[in-house]
Structure 1
C-alpha cells in the first residue's frame, strides 16, 4: 500500500469546534489552555498559543466544525489531493484561516471535515525539544484527534486505505472485531484514532507535553484555575504515553499527553480489548 498521508508528513495543525456559546468556550481555551484570544466576528473566535490553535464557531455543542492538517510541501499537498480524487472522494473548499490558498477538504465516513494544506508562514509548527515556560505558556503542541464512530471499518477504509494513513496499532475484541484503531501521517504514534462506540463524534483531542514533568506543570496550572482532572494520570498501552484528561465547558475531553511513541519501522500490533490496554496504571475509561 502507498502510504500517501504518511509520506506527506501531515500533522494536526488546528481544530475548529462548534459551540452554542462560542465566547465562553473560547475564553476557556484562552485561559486554561494558555492561548491568546481573538474575536473574528459575532460567531467566530480564535485561540492561538505556542504550536496550538483552536477555532470556535457558533453551532451545536461537542461538534467538530473541521480539522486542519498541514503537510510538508506543495508536492505532498498535490499528492494528497490526487489520492483523494483517485479514490472518488469529493473535494470541497477548506474553510480554515490557517492554511494557505490551495488547501482542500474531504469528509470522512462519519461526515467529519478534514482539511489538508500548507501552513501559513506565521503558523508553522515549532519542532524540537520543549522550551522553558517560566513566566510563559507551558509547552504543549496540538498533537492528535480521536473520534468515536459506529463504523470503525469505515474509518479504516477512509483514513488507511483511501488517504494512506499508516495503521500502527489496533485494539481487538475476543471475537476478532475491531474496538480501536490508531493511524499516523508522520513519525508520531498516531495523528488520528477512533473508538467504536454507539455514537459518532469526537472522543478527545490531545496536546503533547513532551516530558512527564510537563504534565505535572499542566496539572498544577489546571488546579490554579479550579479545574479537576477527569482521568489520570495514567499510561496508555498503545503509544505508551503518559496522560491526564480534563473536560471543557461543552463536554469536550482534552488530553495532555507525554512521551508518545515515535514510530520508525515496525508492523501494526494488536492489543486485547481490556482495561489495562487503556490504562496500565489503574482505572480505564472504557468506550465499549
Structure 2
C-alpha cells in the first residue's frame, strides 16, 4: 500500500444565489440531513457517514464551487503537507490551524493548479451516524467528485505530485484523446476524477447508496420529484459502479451510485477505455445514450471561484 498524507474525501461546498431552493433540494429531494445552519450557510450530512457533513451550501451572488475537502490521518500530516506545498510554490490561502466548522479539527487551505480551493483536515470529530436500512433511498455517504479542467494531463500531474493521488483508469476517444482520468487516494477506485472541458468547473458530485435496490428506489424518487435526469440508470465499466445523474436547481450535476470498485493497489494496472464503445459508458445498456447534449450538461457553467478563496 502506498504512503499518503490524504486519506479520503470529506465534503464538497457550493455557493449559489437561490439558497433556499438549493437547500430544499439537498435536504429534501436528494435525501441529506441538515445538521447545522448559520446566516446563509447550510451543512448537510449523509445519514450513514461519520463525516460531520458532506455538502455545504452558501448563499452568494455568484454560483461557484467553494471548496473540496479531503481528510488526513493527523495534524502532523496536515502540517507536513502544508510545508511540502509551500516549498513547491503552491499558494496557501489559509495556514494550518483550528477549523470553526461543525466537528472542528485542524486544517489547511490552498489553490490547486486550476485555482480551486482545496482543504485538508484532521482531528474532525466523528458524527454519530447510523446503518441505512433496506429500501431506504437516501445516501450512505459521499462517494466521489469529478472536476472539469482544460488540461487534464497537467491537473492529473499536479494531484499526483502534490497530494499523492494515483491513476486508476482513463477514458479516451479515438479522435480526441484522453477525456477523463480516474484518481484515487485510497483503495476506492476513485475519490476524484478529472474530465476534459473548455473551462474549469464542477463536473459532478456522487453519493453512495446502500445497494442496488436503494439506488433504484432513489433514482425513481428523484425522477418523480420533477428534477431533471440527464443520464442513467446504468453501470459504468471504469469503477464498475452504477449511475443516475440529475441536475440540482442551479445546474450542478449530482449522481446516485453504488458498488464502486475497491482495488488491490499493489496489483492494479490502469486501463485505457475507449468510451465510444457502448459497454464502456454503460455495461447494462439501460441508460440513454451518451451524446453531446448529455456531455454539455456536465460542462456546467465556468467556475466564478477560480483563484478566489471563499469567504468562509
Please give the range of the TM-score, normalised by the shorter of the 2 chains.
Answer: 0.7 to 0.9
> 5+ unaligned residues in a row in structure 2: which ranges?
297-312
**Equivalence map 1:53-202=2 (5 Å):** 53-59=54-60, 62-93=63-94, 97-98=101-102, 100-118=104-122, 120-123=124-127, 131-132=132-133, 138-174=138-174, 177-202=177-202
CA 1:139–1:172 in 2, change beyond 3 Å: closer, same or farther?
closer
Aligned partner of 1:250 in structure 2 is: 250
> 5+ unaligned residues in a row in structure 1: which ranges?
none
CA 1:267–1:99 in 2, change beyond 3 Å: closer, same or farther?
farther
Matched length = 280
Question: Is structure 2 residue 14 aligned with structure 1 residue 17?
Answer: yes
How far apart are 1:79 and its partner, in Å? Answer: 4.0
Residues 204, 253 of structure 2: 8 Å contact kept: yes
CA 1:188–1:172 in 2, change beyond 3 Å: closer, same or farther?
same
What CA RMSD, in Å, does the superposition of the two structures yield over aligned residues? 2.7
Aligned partner of 1:278 in structure 2 is: 281
Q: Could you tell me how far apart the structure 1 residues matched to 2:175 and 2:223 are?
A: 42
Q: Could you tell me how far apart the structure 2 residues matched to 1:274 and 1:213 are?
A: 29
How far apart are 1:44 and its partner, in Å? Answer: 1.9
How far apart are 1:62 and its partner, in Å? Answer: 4.5
Q: Could you tell me how far apart the structure 1 residues matched to 2:239 and 2:216 are?
A: 19
Q: Could you tell me how far apart the structure 1 residues matched to 2:291 and 2:206 are?
A: 16
How far apart are 1:224 and its partner, in Å? Answer: 4.8
